[in-house]
Amino acid sequence: MERVLEAAAGGRIAWGVLALAAPGLNVRLAGAGDRDTPEIRYLIRVFGSRALALGLGYLLSDPEARRRWRRLCLVVDLCDTAAGAAHLVRGDVPRASAAGLTAFTGGYAALGLLALRAEGRQPR
């Protein structure tokens, strides 16, 4: 499980760097190229900074601190997934974009829940 979590942290870092370096590309990859504005690019960079911090925080931590980082990442991923689901229900974001991003964050949330479950089975 730890290798998978490290890979996920690497994915956060990659996505964060991409968001910071090329926010327009990030907007297009999200399927929202028709909504590319300076404000959206700013928000993408905010997201990128957060993703980068979560990934680096996890990878640069000792095992005990990683337990806390896993929980922080899970909270972020659950919030992002809930927000995506709300947009899907409201229909105010193109369906394909909302569904893709919600599935993406939902995958991270599911991984976090599996890690939390596995952690409960291991002796400390």
Q: What does 6-39 look like in DSSP terms, one character per residue?
A: HHHHHHHHHHHHHHHH-HHHHHHHTT-GGG--HH
Which burial class, exposed, middle or buried, applies to 90 when counting CB atoms under 10 A from its CB (0-12, 13-18, 19+)?
exposed
Give me the percent of the chain exceeding a pLDDT of 70: 98
pLDDT confidence of 112, banded at 50, 70, 90?
very high
- Whether residue 124 has pLDDT greater than 70: no
- Whether residue 87 has pLDDT greater than 70: yes
- Whether residue 121 has pLDDT greater than 90: no
Question: What's the whole-number average pLDDT of the chain?
Answer: 94
Give me the percent of the chain exceeding a pLDDT of 90: 85
Q: What is the mean pLDDT of residues 12-17?
A: 97
What's residue 123's pLDDT?
60
Q: What is the mean pLDDT of residues 36-49?
A: 95
Structure tokens at 27: 């907007």
Please enumerate, as own/partner, the contacts of 18-27 that have beta carbons within 8 Å and a separation of 24 or more: 18/48, 19/44, 19/45, 19/47, 19/48, 19/51, 20/45, 20/48, 20/49, 20/52, 23/48
| Nearest in space to 95 (alpha carbons), one of 105, 106, 87 | 87
What's residue 32's pLDDT?
84
